[in-house]
A and B are shown apart, each in its own frame.
Chain A
């Protein structure tokens, strides 16, 4: 049975892209619709809240709710150092009295309710600036919620990400294994792009004061659990390396496909955003600016994304895709492919990704 032209999932997208930037905590948006913004520039300041101590002041001071404001010794919404008495307890000592309400951390008295009699003391952890991941125009601003930036860029979808978002200039490293990398101070933060499979030890050995992020193809089966069980992760089940890290291929020992290496080499020294998000599907590398054309006159490169050949670069053969079963028995559009390193193979279209 002959199949129609098989659509293949896209892993690299060039052109005008939009990225929504959400306010994770209450805060202020600093840009307006129509503003131009550069990647790495702040677009909002947010105010995360730390721990919150809640006390029933009517019990502490033994007064009715209407009088709790009089019983608090501190003004609201002003910084109070840890150890300061917020409300004095009634009675003598703590045996018969409720004890004083003492600020457990540096923070502020956010609210005292004259209805319920409750007081809310919030730990201060400072304001945090949020930076744009994309250079372009602000096309949407939703108050207290998000903005949308539209700009010209190349987005490369990554399989895995952890460590957060960062920005820097691309430095391609030819050989990842046993590398001694020294960043140049004058060039600012670098995004290290490695073509070979990496280990957690290698990432840990990089100087975090110079390295903004690591872009690598894969982490081998025996190295990946080291990330998962890394001491810094604590109780978290997901990896949190010291430097934001993305893997383009996944947990395997695949090298970076030549088509991706070519793109990163073209971007040597230029600014990129690395979104090392752990939510599946959200990790990406954004290459700012849209002036990189497709690689050359060769046919469009694809990668095999599953099975024993995972990570291998292939090109479409002349034969049309046919509905057939693969070795697992799955019926699908089996695409005839040339391997980058020679030979031919057939893979179901669902397991292919376009790289250019």
Chain B
């Protein structure tokens, strides 16, 4: 008996060896998380982190994965040995571009919409539609123009969906354009081709596609809405999706992870948002920011929408979101003394070394400004203006790794611009995406235990005169004196109270402003809230955001926001503009 206990890989005192699940996230670093199954639920045990090694000088992703596994192994060695355990789910913004589709179709409007939905649901991002309803393609599109537009878009997959194609004229046109006008024109670009058809297409054309491209054939038949047909088509598109994402991910993950499911970051975060929204009956926004890109997932429980910014979306060789944004706009968010060229130098250096962490307050401000501006664009791509939301979750290397959680919360507010009341939480261990990736493999992992409640925000929509009374707020802790504040338009304020005490919140907005109950109407939260780290953040900057245009007033406004929320502390020498151009 003693012998068998000593042989076991867990300490003698333990009676149950937990089942260990590993998930990996590949971004600017490789992160491996171990989840242990205890009494029916899986909990995070530890996270191991290492450098990514798919680039110089290694060009071998296995080195980074092994180092991350080694770091993780030392932390969980008393529970289990993970030396031979491979991650069962991989996700991350660094594992290649999102699987994009350019759809060429001559289907009728209803069938076309169904196909768009089917392709989207499986995770593809349709970036262009060339739709000629019930027509020959040649009647609707000039072939040379179509070829040039496809080259400009450079989708991972060109999907061709045709019906009533007499004599295969449209199919032949599509095949010939792909073979003779796309291949060989841009270095390294050869798309996958997905053929969705309702008849048996001409074998010679199919053979050409199979010979020249990564080819996926999806059989549609008449009566696409029949359950079994839909299911078949779904599974065929899902296979294509896995193949395309797996092909892209192969460069960034070690060989031999064939059994590992690769889930794109957007899908992982969307799944988490959907699960949290469904479980709690609330609307959830997940904001994910890292040097490579910014991603937002919005869900009200049934489905989710994903918007992104960056991630080399147009295949340009730019590795930092800061370089995709107008430098003037970023610098406008920095009260410290910094010129546009200094900011650009910072982001260029960060693009080449995205794993670096800020060494100065100004570097930190630049990273956070770029993150929230990129997130704002991602939000706008799917929801403009931002609808009311119950919970904003901040995650990703830039936000999870923020020195103060209140900084991540402020980024969340600036990025999403939530109207009315909203709770703000941060995924402090940075495992949200990995939870989503594991859930996508059929192993549901709840992300809620890893969220830290940071603050509740109260924002008003509308505009008023700068400095005029905008919001009167009263926080009434259940054990203690009520705390009242009157906040001027254009300012921010924060109220904190004993973290263990629940408080009621009431607000009275100015006449033209709306704090969630209508213009000038008082509001009160139905349920009490706890302070968290950040308390109640009152945002009286209006929606859309109003701030002074003149440089020094603008910087003063920024300092007021940062100081009133206790988010950033700037050394006085950083505020000295002597010797800084522009």
Contacts and interface: CB of A to CB of B under 8 A. Distances in A.
Interface in A257-290: 275, 277-284
Contact of B57 (A10, A26, A224, A305): A10
Contacts of A279: 317, 319
B345 A221 contact: yes
Contacts of A222: 341
A111 B180 contact: yes
A45 interface: no
A159 interface: yes
Contacts of B144: 52-54
B68 to A, nearest CB: 10
Interface string B173-216: 10011011101110110000000000000100100000000000
A309 B359 CA distance: 10
A116 B173 contact: yes
Interface in B41-56: 50-51, 54-56
A231 interface: no
Given A118-B143, A350-B356, A110 B180 contact: yes
B56 A157 contact: yes
Nearest to B180: A120
A113 B74 CA distance: 63
Contacts of A11: 57
A118 B176 contact: yes
B363 interface: yes
Interface stretch (A29-37, A86-94, A168-176, A321-329): A321-329
A250 interface: yes
A147 interface: no
A237 interface: yes
A7 B361 contact: no
B440 interface: no
A49 B185 CA distance: 5
A289 to B, nearest CB: 15
Contacts of A4: 74
Contacts of B170: 116
Interface in B533-568: none
A84 interface: no
Interface in A1-45: 4, 7, 9-13, 17-20, 22, 24-26
Interface string B450-466: 00000000000000000
Contacts of A50: 185
A72 interface: no
Contacts of A197: none
B342 to A, nearest CB: 7
A352 to B, nearest CB: 10
A306 B202 CA distance: 59
A192 interface: no
B188 A116 contact: no
A310 B185 CA distance: 40
A346 B355 CA distance: 18
Interface string B472-506: 00000000000000000000000000000000000
A97 interface: no
Contact of A54 (B60, B147, B316): B147
A10 B59 CA distance: 12
Given A251-B348, A329-B404, A18 B360 contact: no
B interface bracket (residues with beta carbon within 8 Å of A): 35 or more
B169 interface: yes
B212 to A, nearest CB: 9
A320 interface: no
A237 B316 contact: yes
Contact of A307 (B56, B355, B360): B360
A81 interface: no
Contact of B59 (A19, A24, A156, A158): A19
B469 interface: no
A182 B294 CA distance: 48
Interface in B154-169: 167-169
Nearest to B291: A280
Given A7-B67, A52-B181, A118-B176, A329 B341 contact: no
A282 B176 contact: no
A328 B353 contact: no
Interface residues of A, number: 75
Contact of A7 (B56, B71, B143, B357): B71
B184 A25 contact: yes
B138 interface: yes
Interface string B97-116: 00000000000000000000
Interface in A325-356: 325-332, 347-348, 350-351
B359 A308 contact: yes
B188 A22 contact: yes
A115 B354 contact: no
A251 B345 contact: yes
A155 B56 contact: yes
Contacts of A113: 172-173, 176
B272 interface: no
Nearest to A122: B180
Nearest to A10: B57
Nearest to A247: B352
Contacts of B184: 25-26, 47-49
Contact of B359 (A110, A111, A118, A328): A328
A111 B360 contact: no
B325 interface: no
A165 to B, nearest CB: 12
Most buried by B among A12, A22, A237, A309: A237
Contacts of B50: 7
Contact of B349 (A252, A275, A329): A252
A306 B357 contact: yes
Contacts of A252: 345, 349
B444 interface: no
Contacts of A309: 359
Contacts of A281: 54-56, 319, 352
Nearest to A145: B190
B56 A310 contact: no
A237 B51 CA distance: 28
Given A280-B351, A329-B364, 16 more contacts: A13-B57, A17-B58, A52-B180, A113-B176, A157-B55, A157-B56, A159-B352, A237-B318, A279-B319, A306-B363, A327-B359, A329-B361, A329-B569, A330-B401, A350-B357, A351-B357
9 contacts: A26-B184, A110-B180, A155-B58, A280-B351, A280-B354, A306-B356, A306-B363, A329-B364, A351-B359
Closest 7 CB pairs of A and B: A307-B359, A281-B55, A329-B403, A280-B319, A155-B57, A24-B187, A115-B172
